[in-house]
Structure 1
Amino acid sequence: MIATKDLEVRVGARTLLNAPGAHLRVQAGDRVGLVGRNGAGKTTTMRILAGETQPYGGSVTRTGEIGYLPQDSKEGNVEQTARERVLSARGLDEIGRAMSKQQDLMSNSEGDKLDKAIRKFSNLEERYQSLGGYEAESELSQICDNLGLEPRVLDQQLKTLSGGQRRRVELAQILFAASNGSGKSATTLLLDEPTNHLDADSITWLRGFLSKHEGGLIIISHDVDLLSDVCNKIWYLDAVRAEADVYNMGFQKYKDARALDETRRRRERANAEKKSAALHKQAAKLGAKATKAAAAKQMLARADRMMNQLDDVRVDDKVANISFPDPAPCGKTPMHAKGLTKMYGSLEVFAGVDLAIDKGSRVVVLGTNGAGKTTLLKLLAGVERTDGEGGIVSGHGLKVGYFAQEHDTIDGDKSVWRNTIEACPDANEQDLRSLLGAFMFQGDKLEQPAGTLSGGEKTRLALATLVSSRANVLLLDEPTNNLDPISREQVLDALKTYKGAVVLVTHDPGAVRALEPERVIIMPDGDEDLWNDEYMEIVELA
C-alpha cells in the first residue's frame, strides 16, 4: 500500500502538485492510471511515491514490496548478464553463484573441508528452494519470452544490449519479482511508460498480466488501450491548478465523466457571469444615490460570492509550436556510410553496412530489438566509431541533427537554457529564447535542471535544439516516445513538412506514415529496399 499525506511536489520554484490530506492512496486491487500533459509532474510524483526522491512537503507511507520501473532505466551493473539481472529480483543470482562455488569446493576437497562445503551447499540450496529457485528458470523464461527477449539475449552482458533490450530486461526483473508465475502478488507496481520498446504481442501479454495483478498498480502511459484495459482508477494531474483529481472508475468512463464535468463547469460559469454582470450593472445605478449605497455594496458582495463559489474551469492546455525550418544548403549526397561494422567483444552486431543519404531523402530503419538500429544511428551521428575500416564520408554542406532515444544529448546536470546555448553556440540569444518559448520552455523553466524534466519535456528540449541547428540530415531514434497525444501530433506534423533528409528508427506507425519513406534499411544485414506497404505491417507488429 502507498498513501500520501499533505503531499506537495515542486521543481525549483514551480509547484507541480498540492494534494492536501490523504488525497492519493493505492492499495491491493487498485490499478491507477496517472495521467496529465507532459510537464504536469507525473514522473516526478511517481519517483516520490517510489521513494526515489523526497517531496517538498508532506509525507508518503509505504507498506509491502514496491516494484518501480523508471522512465529511463540506466542503472545497475552492466557487466552482469540479462539472466542474472532478472534473477537478482529475488536474490537468486547471488545464491546461485554461492552454490556453484560450494559445488566446486565439494569436487576438489576432502575431509573437514568437504563436510563444511556440503553443509554450506545444503543451507544455500534450502534458501534457494524457499525462494522458488528451481521453478524460477521456467518463470523467468516465460516472462522474458513474452517480453520479446530471446534465450540468446539472456546470456549476454547488459552492456552489449540495445536500449530497447535493456528496457525489457528491467521490466522483466520487476514482473519476475512480483510474480509466482500467475501474476498474483501483493507487490505494488509503479510503472512509468512500460510499453516503450515493446512490440504488439508483448503489449498484449502485458495488458493481461497487469489486469490479473492482485497488488496495487500505478501506471504512466500514453497507450490509451493499455489504460482502458487495465485501470480501474484515474489520477489526473492538472498542470494549471497544480492539483490531482481522483476518479474511481476506468479510463473511458473517466474521459466521459471529465468531459461532462468540464461542460457543467463552463455552463455554470457562463450563467454566473451573466448574473454577476447584471448585479454589477444594477449596483452601479444604485451607487449613484447616497441612500442606496448600502444596497449597491450588498449586490457587489453577492456577485463576488457567486463567482468565488464556482468550480474552476480547466484552462486549455498549452501546445508546443513545433516546426523545422528550411535546412542548410548541401550537396546531392550529404552523407555516405561505407562498411559500417559494430562489435561488442566477439559479438558481432552488424558488419559491412553501406548507406547513401541523398538530399531530402526519407529512410526508415527496421529490425528486431537488438538488431543494431540505434547503434547504426550512433555511428552515423559520430557518437560511436565503427569497428574495422569503414566510416562516414561527409558530402558538401553536411549538417547532422541527432535525436537520441535515451536523451543522451542532454546534460541532466545543466539547466534547460545552458543545454540549449551549448547545443547552438552560433544562434542569437533572443532567437533561442523565442524558440524555447514555442516549445513551452520559458520563465523559471529555463533554469530548471534538465535531469528533472519529464520524458516528454526532454523530448521537446532535444527537438528544440534540432530545430535551431538547421540540420540537413536528421537522425531520429524513437522521437515520439513519452509524448502526450497532442505533442506527438505536433512532432508528426513537423516531420511531414521538413525538407531535409531523415533517417528514422521508430516503433510508432504514425511516425512512419508522417515521414512517407522512400527507402527501408533492414538490420542487422543492412539490406536496402524501396519502401512498400508490406513494410508497414512489420512496423505495426514491431
Structure 2
Amino acid sequence: MLKIDNLSYSFPQKDLYDKISFTLEYGQHCAFIGTNGTGKSTLIDIIMDPEKYMFDGTLEMDPNCKIGYVSQFSQLEKTKEITVFEYIGEYFIKLQNEITSICTEMETSSDIDTLLEKYQQALDAFNAIDGDFFEDTINKNLNLANLMNHKDSMISDLSGGEFKLIQVIKAMLTNPDLIIMDEPDVFLDFKNLNSLKNLINSHKGTMLIITHNRYLLNHCFNKIIHLENLELQEFDGNYIDYNFSLLQTKIELQELAAADTAEIERNEILINKLRIIATENAESFRGKTLNARVKIQERLEKRRIKAPFVDIKEVNIDLVPDNIIEEDIALKVNNYSVAFDEVLLENVSFELNSTDKVAIIGLNGTGKTTLIQDIFENNHISIELSEHIKVAYLSQIQDKTITDSNTIHEEFFDAGFKTYDQIKEYISTYGFGEEQMNRKIGTLSGGEKNMLQLAKLSSSKANMLLLDEPTSHLDTYSQVALEKALKNYKGSILMISHDFYSIVNCMDSVLIIEDKSIRKMSIRKFRKMIYSNYFDKDYLEVEQNKKALETKIELALKANDYTLAKTLCEELEGIIKLMNGTKWLPLLY
C-alpha cells in the first residue's frame, strides 16, 4: 500500500531523516513510535501531501489510495451545532440527499442521460461505503465505543475524549484504504481508552497510528516502525516482542562496545608510548610502527558500534523543591462547586498534606481541569492554600504556561534564568540541544512542549505541583523518566491522569469524581476498581513483573554485568511468552 525508500528530509535548523525506508502492507495495524521531536508527525504530513515537501528519496503509494485522518489537534470541529449521527454520517447523508435530488430532477428534466450519469456516480460512491447498511454500521461502532446513548446528542455537548472517539468512528466508516491517526489516545479516560482499543482492533483495514500509550501499544498492533536518531527501523510483530528484541540487542551491542572501548584504550596507550620514543630518539625511530598503530586506531574508531535504536535519548527530570515542609495541611477545599451548562461538582471537600501525592480521576468532562485551575489561581472562596506553599502548574492546554511566539531561550530568560549558557546547560538535560535554543515554541511537537513545561516547572523549585495530564504526548522513555521524578519528589502533588502506570507507580491515593462529588480511595482499591471495570488483572500484574525485570536488567547493564543481564533476559523471555500466549480481554465498564 505504501513504500518509502531512502527518504531524507531536513528543517532549516534540524535534520529529521537520513535515508529511511519502510513498507506498509494491506491490513496491517502499524504503531509509529519514537522519542519526542524525531519528526513522526512531519512524516505523516509528507505521506498525506508529498507535493508540499522537498525531500530526497521516493514515496510510492497507490494513486487511488483513500486516506482517513484523525489529527491530535482538531477541537474546532467540536463547535459544530449538529448531532453525533449527523457528524459521523456527514458524507453518507450528503450522498443520500444527492441521490434523492437527482431522482427528483429526473421527473421533470429532458436531459436524462446526464442525470443518469450523475446518478450512477453518486450510487457507486454510496455503495462503496456500504450505504444500505450505513446506519447499522454507525450503531455498531457507537455501541463498541459505549457511545450509543450519545447518538442524538449535539457534538458541542461531548467531552473531549468522547469527541475524539467520534472522530475515529467517522474516519473508519467511509472505508478508507488507509487510516492515519496522530496520538488519538491523548486525554482519554480509562473507559474511552478501552473503547479506542476496541475500535482499532475491530477495523479490518490498514492503520498507521502515532502513539506513546503503553496499553494500546501492547494490545493493538502487528507492525512497529520506530524513528530514532534520524533513522528508522521496522519490525513485523507486536510491541512486546519488539521491545524485547531491542533489549536483547542492547545487551549484545553494549557488551561488544565495551570490548571495542577496551581495545581502543589499549591501542591508545601503545600509540602514546611510541610517540614518546619518537620524541626522545627521533633519528633512530623510523615511525612506521607509530603510523601503523594510528591507522589501526582510526579503523577501530570507525567501526565503533552504532546503534540508533539502542542509544535512545533519555531525559533527566529533576523535581526538587526549595522549601520542604514536614507533615502539615497544604491545601483545604471546602464545599467547592462548579457549573457551566450543568453542575459538574457540588459541595466537594478534601485536604492535601504537604507530602501527599494524590491523583484525580474521573470520566472526561467531570470538572477535573476546572478544579485544578481554580486551586492554581487561588482566588476561590472554597479554596485555601497554606502560606508556606509555592505552587507550580502543568496544563494540558500548553499555551497557558508557555508562549508559542517565544523562543526556548526567551521563555527561560523570562522565567528568571540570567545567561544564555545557563539556559543551554539546563535545558540540555531535558533533551533540547543548543541548535533548538532559538526555535519558536510554536514549532515544537506536543511532546517537546510538555517536556518544556516540565523543565520550566522544575526550575520553579515549587513545593506543590498541580499536574494536568503530564504524560500526554510524552514518549514512553520520557514517561518513565517522569515517573522516577514524581516518586523522588519531596513535596505535594495533585495530578489529573488517566495513565494507570503513573498513578499506581507514583501516587499515594486517588480522588475519584463520581456523581458530582469526590471520594478518596487507596491505591489498592483503585487497582481493584480498574481490574473489575476496565482492564484485566492478570495482564496488569504480569506487566508490572515485566517492568521490574527490565529495571533489573538496566541496573545490570549500568554495572557492566553482562552475565546477569543475559540471565535476567532469559527470565524475561518467559514472561513475554506468557503475555503473547494469553488473550487479554479487558472488561467494559
Give TM class, smaller chain. 0.7 to 0.9
| Whole-Å separation in 2 of the counterparts to 1:528 and 1:334 | 16
Asked if the contact 2:390–2:464 (Cα under 8 Å) also holds between the matched residues in 1, the reply is yes
| Deviations 1:463-491, CA, capped at 9 Å, x for gaps | 22323344455332221223333322332
Aligned equivalent of 2:478: 487
Shift of residue 270 of structure 1?
Answer: 4.7
What's the counterpart of residue 143 of structure 2? 145
The answer as to 2:208 corresponding to 1:218 is yes
Instruction: In structure 1, give the amino acid aligned to 2:313.
Output: D
Q: Summarize the Cα distance change of 1:160–1:96 in structure 2 as closer, same or farther, 3 Å threshold.
A: farther
Task: Quote the residue 1:166 is aligned against.
Answer: 163
The answer to whether the Cα contact below 8 Å between 2:223 and 2:235 also exists between their aligned partners in 1 is yes
C-alpha displacement of 1:315: 3.5
Counterparts of 1:91-110 in structure 2, within 5 Å, are 91-95=91-95
Q: Secondary structure at the match of 1:475?
A: strand
Taking only the aligned residue pairs, the percentage that are identical comes to: 21
1:254 equivalent in structure 2: 242
- With normalisation by structure 2, the TM-score equals 0.71
Alpha-carbon deviations, 1:269-324, whole Å to 9, x = none?
45555556666638938976768545653454344335424541453533223314
CA contact (8 A) 1:40 1:238 kept: yes
Is 1:176 the counterpart of 2:168? The answer is: no
Residue matched to 2:319: 323
2:345 aligned with 1:343, yes or no?
Answer: no
Shift of 1:375: 3.9
Asked if the contact 1:400/1:473 (under 8 Å) is kept, the reply is yes
Counterpart amino acid of residue 141 in structure 1: N
Partner of 2:362: 367
**Aligned partners of 2:152 and 2:323: how far apart in 1?**
44
Per-residue deviation, residues 200-226 of structure 1 (Å, max 9, x unmatched): 676566556545655433233334454
Deviations 1:393-415 (Å, cap 9, x if unpaired)?
55564654332224342443433
Match of 2:497 among 489, 506, 524: 506
CA deviation profile, 1:412-431 (whole Å, cap 9, x unmatched): 34333334455x3x565576
Matched, 1:233 2:228: no
Q: Given the superposition, is the C-alpha separation of residues 253 and 341 from structure 1 closer, same or farther in structure 2, using an over 3 Å criterion?
A: closer
Q: Quick one: distance in 2 between partners of 1:54 and 1:32?
A: 24
- The answer for unaligned runs of 5 or more in structure 1 is 114-118, 179-185
Separation in 1 of the partners of 2:284 and 2:228? 46
Contact 2:321 2:463 in 1 (8 A): no
One-letter code aligned to 1:320: N
Query: Residue in 2 aligned with 1:402?
Result: 393
AA of the residue aligned to 1:438 = T
TM-score using structure 1 length: 0.76
The answer as to whether partners of 2:358 and 2:511 remain within 8 angstroms in 1 is yes
Partner of 1:132: 130
Q: After superposition, what is the alpha-carbon deviation per residue over 1:198-255, rounded to whole angstroms, capped at 9, x for unaligned?
A: 566765665565456554332333344543444443322222xx21233344434433
1:134-533 → structure 2 map (5 Å cutoff): 134-152=132-150, 154-178=151-175, 187-198=177-188, 207=197, 210=200, 213-224=203-214, 226-239=216-229, 242-272=230-260, 281=270, 284=274, 293-294=287-288, 296-313=290-307, 314-315=310-311, 317-326=313-322, 334=331, 336=333, 338-344=335-341, 348-350=342-344, 352-360=346-354, 361-381=356-376, 393=383, 395=385, 397=387, 399-409=390-400, 410-422=402-414, 424=415, 428=418, 434-471=425-462, 473-517=464-508, 520-529=511-520, 531=522, 533=524
Task: Please report the RMSD computed on the Cα atoms of aligned residues, expressed in angstroms.
Answer: 4.4
Alpha carbons of structure 1 residues 128 and 342: separation in structure 2 relative to 1, 3 Å: farther
CA contact (8 A) 1:2 1:62 kept: yes
Q: Which amino acid aligns with 2:85?
A: R
Aligned equivalents of 2:520 and 2:251: distance in 1?
Answer: 51
Structure 1 residue 18 displacement after superposition:
1.0
Cα 1:73/1:164, change in 2 over 3 Å: same
Q: Secondary structure at the match of 2:340?
A: strand
Read off the aligned partner of 1:132 and give its amino acid letter: D
DSSP-derived class of the 1:247 partner: strand
Q: 1:71 is matched with which residue? A: 72
State the shift of 1:148 in Å.
3.5
Q: Which amino acid aligns with 1:439?
A: Y
CA contact (8 A) 1:165 1:370 kept: no
- SS across alignment from 1:447: coil
The answer as to whether partners of 1:32 and 1:233 remain within 8 angstroms in 2 is: yes
Is 1:85 aligned to 2:77, yes or no?
no
3-state SS of paired residue (1:462): helix
The 3 A distance-change label for structure 1 pair 125 and 259 is: closer
Shift of 1:434: 5.0
1:457 is displaced (CA, Å) by: 1.9
Query: Where do 5+ consecutive residues of structure 2 fail to align?
Result: 110-114, 535-589
**What count of residue pairs does the alignment treat as equivalent?**
508
Question: Could you tell me whether the CA contact under 8 Å between 1:322 and 1:438 is conserved in 2?
Answer: no
Q: Secondary structure at the match of 2:89?
A: helix
- Residue 32 of structure 1 contacts residue 217 of structure 1 at CA under 8 Å; is this kept in 2? yes
Distance in structure 1 (CA, Å) of the matches to 2:473 and 2:393: 18
What letter matches 2:17 in structure 1? L
Q: Deviations over 1:472-512 (max 9, x none)?
A: 55332221223333322332333334454433221123333
Paired AA for residue 82 in structure 1: V
